[in-house]
Amino acid sequence: MPNLFESHPGHGLTRELIEVLFPMCEQASAGAIAVDKHACISWINSRYASLLGLADTHGVIGRPIRSVIPHSRMPEVLESGQPLLLDIMEYQTQQLVVTRLPFFDEQGQISGAVAFVLFDDLQPLTPLVSKYRRLHQDLLAAKRALAKTGRGTRYHLGDFIGASAAALEAKRRARLAAARDIPVLLLGETGTGKEVLAQSVHTLSARSGGPFVGVNLAAIPENLLEAEFFGVAPGAFTGADKRMRKGKFQHAQGGTLFLDEVGDMPLGLQAKLLRALQEREIEPLGSNQVVPVDVRVIAATSRDLDAMMAEGRFRSDLYYRLNVLEIKIPPLRERRADIGILCEFLLEDICNGQERTEITDAAVALLSQHDWPGNVRELHNVLERAFTMSESAEVLDTDTIRRVLPEPTLAPERPAESQPEADHAARDSSNGDGSDIRPLAAVLARAEADAIRAALARCGNNRTRAARLLGISRSVFYDKLARLS
């Protein structure tokens, strides 16, 4: 019996109980693994190591479990404190039936979790597995449909991928936020996962049964914002609807209101939002009656709110009301260590049920040299293009990545002998007749993406100014940003 629990005598699922059960479960299972409370591997048996194709058990000790088993749900078990008694986990081409159990210290705090692989051959379970797959697909489809109505969530905390200290801290704070019904302010550049975290907080919170309503303040014309927020009373103005038109606050009743790009909120509306948050009531447009509201607000921005307050463009009283708990998400270029694990996860999403595509270590290293102004969203788009253009469905290599990686931030050329793959890629990117002619659509898309990135960089990520600089409306800019490639 390995000494997993040395410093954690406990109760709940007690050390004594686990000690009795462990040898039996370990023997009976096709593999066993344990993690500490930070979801880092503290022990793995040789059977599991060989199932995972690992050379030995030592190399993975201390590593975050998701960096070894990308789909592991051990972090969820640690977050929730609940066992997952029966789960089907995908690992490369294998599907494994797994049981996961948390264990606690004597203060009742989670100090780690163990997992046992019950079956590594799912053949006898084929009917069950097919049913599971069908239900899983149905669930995904239902979640997508619900998210389109703007009332549901697609993400939970396990979807926020990253093992860097900064990513783990963001997740830790998200868990804290979920446990308390307080306003949260998410700070981070575009594409860093602010919405993923906002939805995760909602999903983990006591309000998860209520609606999650998102509103992007930068994408709504200023003259419509107030009606969008607070609704419109029947017959409020000429041509207004005879019925009450509900605003986002009313739609979010009992749930969470996600204010994306709160830094783009006009000052007049800031005052009204502050009042709504303080009084917990709103006044629909054209009405003299107040409506009580029960919503938790999660706000997000990529703007520098301190600077905006200093310039008088953001109310400090609103800032302090929103910023009860702050979660900072650093840009991807400041946590390049997350790129490998993100690639694994994003490729899974991109392959969407088709045969899995792997990415070579050299290709990840190449991706790590880029500055990622569009952060994880841009990484997703680059991988998607690489996947589409890849000749081999199984592996993305540096040749493919080099073809799709935006040019301005490519690493400086290194001596030829140190990068044979790169030279090979450079030769291959021509048409073979010495010309570099590419389809016009691709050239235009690249030029557009470069212009958007340059404008964002010039304006310190201020999207309103970047849109103005490019001579397009904010909503068109947003649309293009979302498809940034």
Ligand X SMILES: Nc1ncnc2c1ncn2[C@@H]1O[C@H](COP(=O)(O)OP(=O)(O)OP(=O)(O)O)[C@@H](O)[C@H]1O
In the bound complex, what is the minimum distance in angstroms from residue 103's beta carbon to ligand X?
A: 28
Binding mask 297-336 for ligand X (x = CB under 6 A): -----x----------------------------------
Residue 59 token pair = 């190399």
Q: Smaller CB distance to ligand X: residue 8 or 194?
A: 194
Q: How far is the CB of 193 from ligand X (least distance, A)?
A: 3
Those residues with Cβ within 8 angstroms of residue 349's Cβ, 6 or more apart along the chain or in another chain: 380
Contacts with 90 (C-beta within 8 Å, 6 or more apart), sequence order: 71, 96
Which of 188, 210, 263, 330: binder of ligand X (CB under 6 A)?
188
Residue with Cβ nearer ligand X (162 or 284): 162
**Beta 94-104 vs 110-119: how paired, if at all?**
antiparallel
Residue 385 binding ligand X, by CB under 6 A: no
Q: How far is CA 48 from CA 116, 118, 121, 272, 351, in A?
A: 9, 11, 14, 58, 26
137 CB-side CA count, 13 A: 8
Q: Is 228 in the site for ligand X (CB under 6 A)?
A: no
Helix (H) or strand (E) holding 292: strand 291-292
Give the containing element (helix H, strand E) for 152.
none
Q: How far is the CB of 170 from ligand X (least distance, A)?
A: 8
When asked if residue 192 is in the footprint of ligand X (CB under 6 A), the reply is yes
Residue from 32, 35, 65, 161 binding ligand X (CB under 6 A): 161
Say if CB 291 and CB 284 are below 8 A apart: yes
Q: Which is nearer to ligand X, 196 or 308 (CB)?
A: 196
From the list 194, 303, 335, 385, which residue makes contact with ligand X (rule: CB under 6 A)? Answer: 194
Alpha carbons 427 and 434: distance in angstroms, whole number:
9
217 binds ligand X (CB under 6 A): no
Q: Which helix (H) or strand (E) holds 417?
A: none
Only one of the segments 365-373, 374-382, 414-422, 433-441 lies at the binding site for ligand X (rule: CB under 6 A); that segment is 374-382
Candidates 56-64, 283-291, 376-384, 429-437: pick the segment binding ligand X (CB under 6 A): 376-384
The position carrying tokens 């990068």 is: 419
* Identity of the residue, 122 or 146, whose beta carbon is nearer to ligand X in the bound complex: 146
Q: Is 410 exposed, middle or buried (0-12, 13-18, 19+ CB in 10 A)?
A: middle
Provide, rounded to whole angstroms, the least separation between the CB of residue 169 and ligand X. 13
- The answer to the question of residue 191 lying near ligand X (CB under 6 A) is yes
Q: What's the one-letter identity of residue 116?
A: F
Residue 203 C-beta: closest distance to ligand X, Å = 13
The helix (run of H) or strand (run of E) holding residue 35 is: strand 31-36
**Residues 88, 97: contact at Cβ < 8 Å?**
yes
225 binds ligand X (CB under 6 A): no
- Contact residues toward ligand X (CB under 6 A) are 159-162, 188, 190-196, 260, 302, 342, 345, 376-377, 380
